Amino acid sequence: MDHFFNPRNVGELPNPDGVGRVGNPVCGDVMKMEIKVADGRIADIKFMTFGCGAAIATSSMVTEMVKGKTLEEAMAVTNRTVAEALGGLPRAKLHCSNLAADALHRAIEDYRSKAAGSQ
């Protein structure tokens, strides 16, 4: 609940290194994560979410979990670890945690493909 009422890392980054946007209004949630990467680690991360309370809380939790972590560590974050970190989610809300992890992974992939392209 705290992550819903006081979400961490809400917003957008100036010139993000990677952007991940998942979901659509049809399925009920839209999440966007933006990352700044330095020395192979997530130096900064911000999110924007359209969705229910659980969607907002999982987004916030993911950003806290991976800030300062290496990209490999961040890629290892799964839907389950996010839900566990929040103390469990009701069954109907599990898809929200899926989206949060997916958005993060998408942002990292975006960063990696941009990095590969600029080499």
Partner 1 sequence: MREVYLDHAATTPVHPEVAELIQEYLVRTYGNPSSLHRFGRRARAALEEAREQVAEALGAEPEEIVFTSGGTEADNLAIRGAALAHGRPGHIITTRVEHHAVLHTCEALEETGFEVTYLPVDRHGRIAPEQVAEAIRPDTVLVTVMLANNEVGTVQPLAAVGEICRERGVLLHSDAVQALGQLPIDVGQLGVDLLSVSGHKIYGPKGIGALYVRRGVRLSPLMYGGGHERRRRPGTENVPGIVGLGKACELAVRELAARARTMREMRDRLVEGIQARIAEVVLNGHPTERLPNNANLCFRYVEGESILLGLDSKGIAASSGSACTSGALEPSHVLMAMGLSHELAQGSVRFSVGRLTRAEDIDYVLEVLPPIVERLRNMSPLYAERGRARQAGSPPGEG
What is the contact surface with partner 1 in residues (CB under 8 A)?
Answer: 4-5, 7, 10-12, 21, 25-32, 47-56, 91-93, 95-96
Write down the catalytic residue from 66, 96, 103, 104: 96
CB of 24 to partner 1, least distance (A): 8
77 and 66 Cβ atoms separated by less than 8 Å: yes
115, 17, 52, 94 alpha-carbon torsion, rounded to 10°: 30
CB of 43 to partner 1, least distance (A): 21
Write down the catalytic residue from 24, 27, 114, 115: 27
In single-letter form, the type of residue at position 58 comes to T
User: What 3-state class would DSSP assign to 23?
Assistant: strand
Has 27 been annotated as catalytic? yes
